[in-house]
Amino acid sequence: MILLSELSKSFDGGATCAVRDVSLDVGGGETLVLLGASGCGKTTTLKMINRLIEPSAGRIEVDGVEVRERDVLDLRRSIGYVFQDIGLFPHLTARENVEIVPRLLGWPVEKRRERSAELLQLVGLDAEEHGGRLPLHLSGGQQQRIGIARALAADPGHLLMDEPFGALDAVTRDQLQRQLIDLRAALRKTIVFVTHDLFEAIRLADRIGVMNGGRLEQIGTASDLMERPATPFVAELFDHARRQAALIGEVR
């Protein structure tokens, strides 16, 4: 479904690389989590998939077609994108935000209204109660739910999620993680999810790609990475998680 081949990105003419020689594939219906610290290249990699950032080298295929062979607007409208900072239009209601892409695609009003009501319900919001509210009058968790609904509005096969829960409190974050697991099971979208939180990655991923310094250190299931780390960085990352888990286990 999504294939990256020797993908690289430099912002300074090649003196340094934010992403260097990353190759991976994401199967249909799979959730791949790109895990790493700030500045490791995970968000740059994500943005290259729908050409928010153009690669310096390498190849990206979505459904067997090189993304640079497609019209960029058509590509972006075919892939749902959920931003870290939510990015709702502040002057539009929740319903109008969800309907943005269907409106751009020329859907009739009645079909847009039906779709937005369906999606608001799907993400746990009542269309009558919340659909007419501006983002200012919604909580952070409600806004992020609308961001997810907006990304799903035109029923894309693929969903890109850039640390969507990173700015939320722990309780809301837990609720949305659980809701995403339910949505994933129901919709079977192909998802690439970026996070710096190892426990979030373990909870959500079918496979995890660990990034460090612009490179993909290792990719595999959480068990693969924990039991058979390919590099010292991956080993230390999971050892740190074990120590954190042990501290929690010591709480009485």
The answer to whether residue 46 sits within a structural domain is: no
- Tell me the pLDDT band of 169, cut-offs 50, 70 and 90: confident
Task: State the average pLDDT over residues 135-140.
Answer: 92
Task: State the average pLDDT over residues 157-164.
Answer: 93
Residue 115 has pLDDT above 80, yes or no: yes
Higher local confidence (pLDDT), 142 or 250? 142
Question: What is the rounded distance in angstroms from the CA atom of residue 211 to the CA atom of residue 34?
Answer: 7
The answer to whether residue 192 sits within a structural domain is: no
Contact 98, 146 (CB under 8 A): yes
Task: State the average pLDDT over residues 176-200.
Answer: 92
Give percent of the chain with pLDDT exceeding 70.
98
Residue 79 is encoded by which pair of tokens?
A: 């892939």
The answer to whether residue 172 sits within a structural domain is: no
- pLDDT tens, 52-96? 999 999 999 999 999 999 999 989 988 999 988 778 899 999 999
The answer to whether residue 6 sits within a structural domain is: no
The answer to whether residue 99 sits within a structural domain is: yes
Residue 252 has pLDDT above 60, yes or no: no
Residue 117 has pLDDT above 90, yes or no: yes
Task: State the average pLDDT over residues 39-59.
Answer: 96
The answer to whether residue 145 sits within a structural domain is: yes
Residue 7 has pLDDT above 70, yes or no: yes
Predicted pLDDT of residue 217:
96
The answer to whether residue 136 sits within a structural domain is: yes
Residue 165 has pLDDT above 80, yes or no: yes
Domain assignment of residue 122, given as a range: 88-155
Residue 211 has pLDDT above 90, yes or no: yes
Residue 251 has pLDDT above 80, yes or no: no
Q: Which residues contact 67 (CB under 8 A, 6 or more apart)?
A: 49, 50, 51, 60, 61, 75
Predicted pLDDT of residue 51:
95
The answer to whether residue 125 sits within a structural domain is: yes
Token pair 């029923």: residue: 155
Task: State the average pLDDT over residues 165-171.
Answer: 85
pTM, to two decimals: 0.92
**In the chain, how many domains are there?**
1
- Tell me the pLDDT band of 172, cut-offs 50, 70 and 90: confident
Q: What average pLDDT is seen over the chain? A: 92
